[in-house]
Amino acid sequence: MRLERSFFERHTPSVARDLLGCTLVRKSGRRVISGRIVEVEAYRGSDDPASHSYRGKTARNSLMFGEAGHVYMFFIYGNHWCLNFTAEPEGRKPGAVLVRALEPVEGIGEMAKNRGTSDTVSLTNGPGKLTQALGIDGSFYGEDLVTSERLFVLSAESPVRRAVSSRIGVSQGHEQKWRYFVKGNRFVSKGHPSRVKDVSE
DNA sequence: CACCCGATTATCT
DNA sequence: GATAATCGGGTGT
């Protein structure tokens, strides 16, 4: 079942945690590429120095202040697109969940073509990699996951073992343990080893 | 495995 | 003008 609006209209870390095990589906014509979400991070509001919305509303982050369940894309380090889902009830705090890793399900051949590699593990084990594998770019900025024909999320079919840590790649906001991943899954990104130490259940 | 670095550009100060 | 929620390739241990 496709996730509906109410799923996203909650506390951002809860949305992030519950996205683990859900399936991200990318459709273009007859082609379907999909993967299970195995790693995410929450970014939230004026109390989170690592969030793009920390310093208030700007042209780039305005979507994080709007209706939940939309796609927030940003381009980083001159190379990569990162995929985020907006969260929180509208009018409350700005919030978004970064999708960091997928376990490939459908369209693996297509992913390999998009990524230019045949190494299955490295197809989708990072935020910049999975967008490339699924053919998701800046044109998806603002896409509504609740109604879109080309990008949406299906609810989890079976429970997953979750683990938590501080977030990867951020220079501030280490105290918050807002990275969630599926324990033991080989498609979880390696991240920065020094920042993955404080893993807890 | 640990560390280092260059690529490359939108966005904000 | 500086910075960045990354990646891949390199070197050295």
> What's residue A176's pLDDT?
87
Could you give the CA distance from residue A45 to residue A62 in angstroms, rounded to a whole number?
12
Q: Is nucleic acid strand B under 7 Å from A53's C-beta?
A: no
Could you give the CA distance from residue A31 to residue A51 in angstroms, rounded to a whole number?
34
Name the residue closest to the C1' of B6 by its CA.
A77
H/E element holding A8?
helix A5-8
> What's residue A63's pLDDT?
95
CA quadruple A175, A131, A105, A144: dihedral, nearest 10: 90
- What type of residue is A132? Q
Q: Is nucleic acid strand B under 7 Å from A186's C-beta?
A: no
Name the residue closest to the C1' of B13 by its CA.
A55
> What's residue A191's pLDDT?
66
Could you give the CA distance from residue A108 to residue A74 in angstroms, rounded to a whole number?
25
> What's residue A198's pLDDT?
43
The domains of chain A, with CATH numbers, are: 5-198 (3.10.300.10)
Structure tokens at A143: 């896409």
Q: Is nucleic acid strand B under 7 Å from A141's C-beta?
A: no
Question: What does the H/E/C string look like for A22-44?
Answer: CEEEEEECCEEEEEEEEEEEEEE
Phi-psi region of A194 (alpha: psi -120 to 50; beta: other; left: phi over 0): alpha
Neighbouring C-beta atoms of residue A159, cutoff 10 Å: 8
Could you give the CA distance from residue A195 to residue A154 in angstroms, rounded to a whole number?
30
The Cα-based distances of A160 to A17, A46, A97, A185 in angstroms read 10, 31, 18, 10
Q: Is nucleic acid strand C under 7 Å from A95's C-beta?
A: no
Q: Is nucleic acid strand B under 7 Å from A194's C-beta?
A: yes
Per-residue pLDDT of chain A in tens (201 residues, 90 and over written 9): 999 999 999 999 999 999 999 999 999 999 999 999 999 999 998 889 999 999 999 999 999 999 999 999 999 999 899 999 999 998 889 999 999 999 999 999 999 999 999 899 999 999 999 999 999 999 999 999 999 999 999 999 999 999 999 999 988 888 889 999 999 999 999 765 444 444 443
> What's residue A103's pLDDT?
97
